[in-house]
Amino acid sequence: MNPPSEGRRELDSVVINIELTLVSIIQGVALFFLTDNARALLSMQRASAFLYVAASLCVIFIFWSRSVIHTLTLIRWPLEFGHNFFYIACALGEAILFSRLDNPLAWFQLSAAYAGIVWLLFIYDMRLIRARIAESRDDSERALYACARSDQLLNIRALVPLLFFLDLACMLAIWRWPDLFIARSRHIWLISAQLLSFIAYLIYTGRYFSAIAPLVLRSRRTN
């Protein structure tokens, strides 16, 4: 396959800059809503408040890190509108989620809805991976996109569904036994479980990036 033209490389660079700018803006908006809603909650100095705020920060960390990895590995010309529309929808979901830090039932309801949107985003983005595989030019790119495909399928088939069903189970537990989880404040167990799952996912994401970083570098050298 012929190497990309100078015009194509310039367009790739423009699209990557657009993607990184969009990610930075929407996560900045999400962080504003988190900060605005966390101030009053943290002033109450309840242990559960810190857990909900920590979980919210993890949501931002996860979305930002996954978006950056996605941009470095898969984003090329032409601009993918559907993918970016999903990003904006996720930012809206985060903003609404962060407005429910003081309502455990609503928090887990919205967490499940947000996880569902992210699940759809992973499914939608498989088309980008297939496009990159189809246009790969050498072994370094094929190895990179094979790793990206394996990670994407793992998220679609296991990781994101597990987060979704954890949120759903927590929501149903609070709805079914409000005396236990609300009146007795046992919802702290549920948010602790969610926070641990987020931390585990962040660790996985960090290890995944460490594994593909050399492949990203080699694929860029060949362009």
Q: Is the pLDDT of residue 4 over 70?
A: no
**Among 14, 23, 114, 135, residue whose Cα is nearest residue 70:** 23
Q: How confident is the model at residue 78 (pLDDT cuts 50, 70, 90)?
A: confident
For residue 1, is it within any domain? no
Q: Give me the pLDDT at residue 6, please.
A: 78
What is the domain range of residue 33? 6-221
For residue 12, is it within any domain? yes
Q: What is the mean pLDDT of residues 96-117?
A: 96
Q: How confident is the model at residue 223 (pLDDT cuts 50, 70, 90)?
A: low
Number of domain units in the chain = 1
For residue 184, is it within any domain? yes
Q: How confident is the model at residue 2 (pLDDT cuts 50, 70, 90)?
A: low
Q: Give me the pLDDT at residue 40, please.
A: 81
For residue 137, is it within any domain? yes
pTM: 0.93
Q: What is the pLDDT of residues 18-53, one digit of tens each?
A: 999 999 999 999 999 999 999 888 777 677 889 999
Q: What is the mean pLDDT of residues 59-75?
A: 95
Q: Is the pLDDT of residue 167 over 90?
A: yes
Q: What is the mean pLDDT of the chain?
A: 92
Q: How confident is the model at residue 222 (pLDDT cuts 50, 70, 90)?
A: low
For residue 18, is it within any domain? yes
Q: What is the mean pLDDT of residues 123-140?
A: 92
For residue 64, is it within any domain? yes
